[in-house]
Amino acid sequence: MKTPDYFKRNLYIERIRPFVNTQMIKVIVGQRRVGKSYLLYQLMDEIRANDPQVDILYINKELFEFDSIKNYTDLIQYVREKRENTEKKCYLFIDEIQDIQNFEKALRTFFAEDGYDIYCTGSNANLLSGELATYLSGRYIEIKVHGFTYGEFLQFHHLEDNEDTFSKYYKFGGLPYLVHLPMEENFVSEYLRNIYNTIILKDIVRRYNIRQVRQLEDLALYLADTIGHLFSANRISEYLKSQRINMQPKIILEYLNYLANGFLIRRISPTEIHGKKLFRIGEKYYFEDLGIRHAIRPFRADDIGQVLENLVCHHLAACGYAIAIGRNDDKEIDFIAEKSGERLYIQVATTILESKTKEREFGNLLAITDNYPKMLITLDTIEGVSYQGIKQIPIRKFLLEQE
């Protein structure tokens, strides 16, 4: 097949490239419409560049021509029929594989036959779980793909970094298809609302057989209104009761897992700064795509603090950091970000022009006694400001430079 034009996402290709031509199954996961298919196209073109006669087989379960592949036996039969040369390695690409019933059994079969280099994508965080994960332990690599970082957004849309462009990014989000739409709220919101409905109905309601769809949507709306707040299922249950919505804490926790598995939201857990204790309460939730958040709960000016936190969280995740909330006695650090054995401590504030805000945000960072970098990210555009060695960094500068 001839691949369509695409924007090269080297951020992810560089993570996958070391595993090309290995027996490791490459599992690419992420929210719908973040560009997983186009990442496969880029990989196929790289493989063809090294061997123009390579045997590549591509299956996309979102296309009608592959609708007959319903379950794992259909998949095995299709691949065996279409494979060009059984003596030659087959590069097998399967898009949205979770739509094939018991696909795990087919992957296990292909893996055992040792004649395939396998790549698959899915829109569920628990794509490989249960039996397959046990059977293939240590034999697959998972790569999470996210919507555009701010830098990618600028490149893809051919825009310059300025306040107007930045506001478009945090209002409309980073889904690639936006390049085909007028950058106007009504057009973008309608598209993003459709993506939200697909995630809710196809990736969550259908997958988990949920009957109370309205309750699920009420919870999503609540999360959209409380980005970055400490979470309590009991407190949410009580609040929803005040709105005449009856949801027990147990159901709330189940629905939260479903929303996270569908990549609508991202769960961040708290941990002790000096030690390895991970807390099971006091989690925070952020949206995978702010544009989708604003499609279900329109942006208001006083949201900007929550939006900045969400932007930083998304950027750190896209850059491959493991993220946690920091607890240091009675002080909280917005994000602890770790990658390659290094660590960053990050506070996020709209502005520190008020002395109380400055004392609180810098004070929480100063209370940390180790020597890892500490930074305060704000909407303020002043650069080069530091306080006792802690840098204050404008949000746009952080999003373009910190990788």
> pLDDT digits over 320-344, tens only?
999 999 988 888 999 999 999 999 9
pLDDT at 385 (0 to 100) = 77
> pLDDT digits over 191-218, tens only?
999 999 999 999 999 999 999 999 999 9
Task: Give the CA angle between residues 198, 201, 207 to the nearest 5°.
Answer: 115
Q: Are strands 322-328 and 342-349 parallel, antiparallel or unpaired?
A: unpaired
3-state secondary structure the chain: CCCCCCCCCHHHHHHHHHHCCCCCEEEEECCCCCCHHHHHHHHHHHHHHHCCCCEEEEEECCCHHHCCCCEHHHHHHHHHHHCCCCCCCEEEEEECHHHCECHHHHHHHHHHHCCEEEEEEECCCCCCCCHHHHHCCCCEEEEECCCCCHHHHHHHHCCCCCHHHHHHHHHHCCCHHHHHCCCCHHHHHHHHHHHHHHHHHHHHHHHHCCCCHHHHHHHHHHHHHCCCCCCCHHHHHHHHHHCCCCCCHHHHHHHHHHHHHCCCEEEECEEECCCCCECCCCCEEEECCHHHHHHHCCCCHHHHHHHHHHHHHHHHHHCCCEEEEEEECCEEEEEEEEECCEEEEEEEECCCCCHHHHHHHHHHHHCCCCCCCEEEEECCCCCCEEECCEEEEEHHHHHHHCC
- pLDDT more than 90, % of the chain: 75
- Fold assignment, 10-144: Rossmann fold (3.40.50)
**pTM (two decimals):** 0.94
pLDDT at 86 (0 to 100) = 83
Find the mean pLDDT for residues 366-395.
Answer: 90
Ordered by start, the domain boundaries in the chain are: 10-144, 150-401
